[in-house]
Amino acid sequence: MESLIILIFVLGYLAITLEHNLKLDKLIPALAMMSILWALVAFGIDTFPNWFDSGAHQLVEGFSGFGTDEKHHLLEETLLHHLGKTAEILFFLLGAMTIVEMIDYFDGFATFKGYIRTKSKKKLLWIFAILAFILSAIIDNLTATIVLITILQKIVKDKTTRLYFAGLIIIAANAGGAWSPIGDVTTTMLWIGKKVTTLKLIEYLIIPSLLCMAVPTFIASYLKPFRGDIEADLTEIGSKNQHGSTMLYLGLGAIMFVPIFKTVTHLPPYVGMMLSLSVVGVFAEMYSRSKFSISKAVDTEGDDSKGHHSPVHASLSKIEMPSVLFFFGILMAVAALESLGILFLGAASLQEIIPNTDIVVMLLGVGSAVVDNVPLVAASLGMFSEGLDDPLWHFVAFAAGTGGSMLIIGSAAGVVAMGMEKIDFFWYFKKISWLAAIGFIVGSAAFIGLRAIL
């Protein structure tokens, strides 16, 4: 039965990795895999020799001697435990996504156009890289990439030049997301899973992440595509909405408040995110009503589609629910493997083959370029038993977050850029991957050096 479970997981994983070839959204195999795995666990509960207690992070003693009812009761408790842990991450992400959509509702991100006053390609590269690095640490690397490529499309008209800019934005956004607990889904998972704290994460990863962004950007700034000036009209600056910049700074501040709330109250991060969402929602509703007019309200008999709309409702309707369901499916699927002790025992075998943990973590980073980093980090949570703020977890956060830049399909930022700019897989591999690999190696070396000092 265990062999069948592993086979189903591998097949589901392949379907997720090959979603573009199969023309099948990755949430479908993720949800199917999760459901089938837990069904197989339930059917074969009497045949399994081990059961893993995720709370105590150890195998349950004497599990094979338990009665069938006792085993099923343990299964239900374990399933509820994993559902709770997964829900913490999902509600956190839902809150953050809604705040970002509310900022966009008021055209707040257009404020960043005001920072661009140059036509020099080299200076523009650094502006976009620094913005991606900072912005991704606050609103996550996926959203930062969408925002900056949208702005890029309005400034850089030449398609080829724009592709190079997009490639460097992906590297910078992934590097920026790694050092912040709210910057990348995988880092958020480690933070919510009580493996890293905000201050230690920043202490360990700010310098490696900065180097991971700066070194490729510095090298790229001397390449041919970034020489000379662009042809662009930079007269249009800022947001056309009068409340755009206010909502931008309010929204970003509200998201940044969440780690502070967690530190002060010791409550799970999603509680703070819900508080931030409610505060931003109050201002969004106030600003939205200030635009309300009688002429719009009475337009077309009884149809208020052109009248006042709640920005909260509008923002919730634009949330990427497929991504949320994918995270749910993959996290719960990995939890099934963890519950049987497969990951725990697999980690012990891996450490016997490769005793150097740094190499294992760097291989995890390389692996995250090929397959999705969410299940890899979810697996690492079941593989390693190190405590809170152990350097291993910080290295996992860095490797999984930045390693994905080495291939266009290796990160959410890369996939969304691929869709927005129609970036070819092999073009990215030839032109950008080597820069991302240099950044990853330099950042990893910096982390190992920094760990020896701290």
Count of helix runs (H) and strand runs (E) in the chain: 21, 2
| DSSP per-residue string spanning 54-70 | TTTTEEPTTGGGS-HHH
**Widest distance between CA atoms in the chain:** 75
Contact 394, 196 (CB under 8 A): yes
Q: How far is CA 350 from the centre of its chain?
A: 26
Q: Write out the residue range of the structural domain in which residue 139 sits.
A: 2-53+67-453
The answer to the question of residue 58 being in a domain is: no
Q: What is the model's pLDDT at position 372? A: 66
Tokens at 2, concatenated: 């265990």
Mean pLDDT in consecutive groups of 10 residues from the start of the chain, 454 residues: 88 80 83 93 86 74 83 89 88 87 85 77 92 90 85 84 93 93 87 89 94 95 87 58 84 89 88 93 85 43 50 84 84 84 73 82 85 74 82 92 87 81 86 95 94 86
Q: What is the model's pLDDT at position 194? A: 86
Looking only at the bridges linking them, the beta strands covering 58-59 and 52-53 are antiparallel
Q: Spell out a b/e string for 212-228, using b for 16 or more CB atoms within 10 Å of the CB, else e.
A: bbbbbbeebbeeebbee
Contact 189, 90 (CB under 8 A): no
Q: Scanning the structure block, which residue is given the tokens 């991504």?
A: 323
The number of folded domains in the chain is: 1
Contact 209, 402 (CB under 8 A): yes
Q: Scanning the structure block, which residue is given the tokens 């919510």?
A: 192
Contacts of 303 (CB under 8 A, 6+ apart): none
CA angle 317/319/324 to nearest 5° reads 130
The answer to the question of residue 61 being in a domain is: no
The answer to the question of residue 189 being in a domain is: yes
Q: How far is CA 363 from the centre of its chain?
A: 19
Cα gap 329→336, rounded to integer Å: 11
The H or E element containing residue 443 is: helix 433-453
Tokens at 52, concatenated: 């893993």
| DSSP per-residue string spanning 329-355 | HHHHHHHHHHHTTHHHHHHHHHHHH--
Contact 34, 333 (CB under 8 A): yes
Cα gap 377→196, rounded to integer Å: 13
The answer to the question of residue 412 being in a domain is: yes
The answer to the question of residue 60 being in a domain is: no
Q: What is the model's pLDDT at position 134? A: 93
Contacts of 98 (CB under 8 A, 6+ apart): 277, 312, 315, 316, 319
